[in-house]
């Protein structure tokens, strides 16, 4: 199983005492409230390999659908990493798997179906803020690990309306849900995101100050209290009365 997917699933079992964030090695003893994923391009990582030492739980490399360069792959040795933000053909997926890739974040329109056939590779489908129920039902019918919303819809500062816009998408997809990290969120913002089912946030791997602030805020997030609402959101593409009669 993908180490990232395993980490995201264990997050739902956090106790109020489970604090801290997991190291990029993927050996997290105490799952965080939200998994922090650092985004970097292959070229930038190859040029600055020390970026891989940032305080994030996992690293997402924008590989443009291909295997990593030798320099980037070397920088990620021993780290928990994935590739993404593009379409992947079968050859590209196989090459990444051989390099130690743990998960992919893929564009469904240009990705081979083989991505959902690999048991040891996590797969997160890219969804838009305009995701509709019909598309969500289609996603529910394929074997994908979770979803990634490639947009910051909560705004700055984070508002209730922004959270509602995010929940429109989150409420339609099952499994772990990852989104773009908002700019300078308060602990209360991170708590709200966690409680509504956001499992991971993506931040630029080179944004050291933002990573530090996010980690500090994530450590202060407490799990949702029992009875305060359902935990671990699942696919909710509500049927219409006519559909229920069928």
Q: What is the pLDDT of residue 199?
A: 93
Averaged pLDDT, 130-156: 91
Q: Which has more pLDDT, 230 or 210?
A: 210
Residues in the chain: 246
- Alpha-helix runs per DSSP H in 67-132: 70-75, 90-99
Whether the ω angle into residue 157 lies within 30 degrees of 0, i.e. cis, is yes
CA distance 182 to 146: 20
Q: What is the pLDDT of residues 170-188, one digit of tens each?
A: 999 999 999 999 988 999 9
Per-residue pLDDT band at 62 (split at 50, 70, 90): very high
Contact 172, 237 (CB under 8 A): yes
Averaged pLDDT, 145-167: 89
Q: What is the pLDDT of residue 29?
A: 59
Q: What is the pLDDT of residue 28?
A: 44
Contact 202, 235 (CB under 8 A): no
Nearest to 158 by CA among 166, 150, 149, 147: 166
pTM of the model: 0.84
């Amino acid at each position: 199983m993908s180490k990232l997917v395993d980490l995201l699933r264990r997050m739902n079992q956090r106790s109020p005492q489970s604090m801290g964030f997991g190291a990029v090695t993927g050996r997290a003893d105490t799952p965080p409230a939200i998994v922090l994923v650092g985004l970097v391009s292959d070229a930038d990582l190859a040029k600055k390999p020390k970026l891989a030492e940032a305080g994030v739980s996992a690293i997402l490399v924008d590989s443009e659908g291909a295997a990593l360069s030798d320099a980037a792959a070397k920088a990620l040795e021993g780290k928990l990493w994935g590739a993404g933000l593009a379409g992947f053909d079968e050859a590209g997926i196989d090459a990444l798997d051989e390099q130690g890739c743990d998960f992919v974040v893929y564009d469904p329109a240009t990705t081979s179906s083989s991505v959902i056939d690999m048991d040891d590779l996590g797969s997160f489908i890219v969804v838009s803020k305009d995701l509709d129920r019909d598309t969500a039902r289609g996603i529910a019918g394929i074997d994908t690990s979770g979803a990634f919303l490639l947009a910051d819809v909560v705004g700055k500062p984070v508002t209730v309306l922004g959270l509602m816009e995010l929940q429109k998408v989150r409420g339609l997809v099952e499994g772990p849900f990852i989104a773009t990290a908002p700019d300078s969120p308060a602990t209360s913002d991170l708590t709200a995101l966690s409680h509504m089912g956001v499992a991971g946030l993506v931040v630029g791997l080179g944004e050291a100050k933002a990573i530090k602030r996010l980690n500090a805020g994530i450590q202060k997030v407490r799990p949702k209290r029992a009875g305060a609402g359902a935990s671990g959101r699942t696919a909710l593409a509500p049927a219409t009365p006519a559909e229920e009669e069928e």
